[in-house]
């Protein structure tokens, strides 16, 4: 069955690549856009551009402490990252999260739900796209308490927080860049289960 699904998909992608190579109206590259679609780095998207990315993390912890009845934990964390540039220097961003945990020997065994959400803005003081030698960007973000409360949800969720950044980025080629960032962040209050993140 897997072979029947794989072959049509592979054929489709090969045909799409061949059509794109022969096409006259190839889309232009996003100059100055970071290679990594994570919301990091000092470059800002060109005006009017939208960038989305889904990042995922899968973790499986089995037999953490042998003989002590420790639970096996299987976790999935999904992040939806969205960036939109209002101008060549000003960009809005947001990151939302969804968490799914399955735990043996604990009650409840299955926990899932939305995590906290961040909403931010970045401003490019220097822009490599405009001829500067590198990017210098300042930014700020607010962490919104959209996560769930209760004993069976993640500690520290559901708390207001904030972040201030200063980032330097140098794009050497479209595929190679260097980043250096200074970040100050923290919660404004204690979150779920009276835990303060960070």
The predicted model scores a pTM of 0.67
Residue 43 located in a structural domain:
yes
Instruction: Retrieve residue 58's tokens.
Output: 């899968």
Residue 153 located in a structural domain:
yes
Residue ranges of the chain whose pLDDT lies below 50: 1-4, 13, 16-38
Residue 159 located in a structural domain:
yes
pLDDT score for 22: 47
- What is the count of structural domains for the chain? 1
Buried b (16+ CB within 10 A) or exposed e, 91-123: bebbbbbebebbbeeeeeeebebebbbbebebe
Residue 160 located in a structural domain:
yes
Residue 7 located in a structural domain:
no
Residue 6 located in a structural domain:
no
Residue 44 located in a structural domain:
yes
Enclosing H/E stretch for 141: strand 135-144
> What domain range is 90 assigned to?
30-62+71-194
pLDDT tens by residue, 42-91: 889 999 999 988 888 887 777 666 666 666 778 888 889 999 999 999 99
């Amino acid at each position: 069955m897997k072979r029947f699904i794989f072959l049509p998909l592979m054929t489709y992608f090969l045909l799409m690549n061949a059509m794109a190579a022969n096409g006259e109206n190839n889309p232009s590259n996003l100059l100055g856009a970071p290679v990594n679609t994570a919301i990091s780095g000092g470059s800002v998207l060109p005006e009017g551009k939208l960038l989305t990315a889904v990042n995922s993390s899968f973790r499986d912890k089995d037999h953490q402490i042998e003989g002590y009845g420790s639970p096996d934990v299987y976790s999935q964390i999904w992040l939806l990252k969205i960036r939109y540039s209002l101008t060549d220097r000003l960009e809005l961003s947001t990151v939302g999260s969804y968490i799914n945990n399955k735990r043996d020997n604990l009650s409840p065994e299955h926990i899932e739900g939305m995590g906290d959400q961040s909403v931010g803005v970045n401003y490019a003081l220097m822009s490599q796209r405009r001829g500067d030698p590198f990017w210098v960007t300042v930014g700020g973000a607010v962490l919104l308490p959209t996560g769930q409360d209760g004993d069976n949800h993640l500690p520290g969720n559901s708390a207001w927080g904030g972040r201030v950044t200063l980032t330097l980025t140098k794009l050497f080629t479209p595929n190679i860049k260097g980043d250096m960032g200074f970040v100050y962040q923290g919660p404004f209050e204690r979150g779920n289960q009276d835990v303060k993140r960070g």
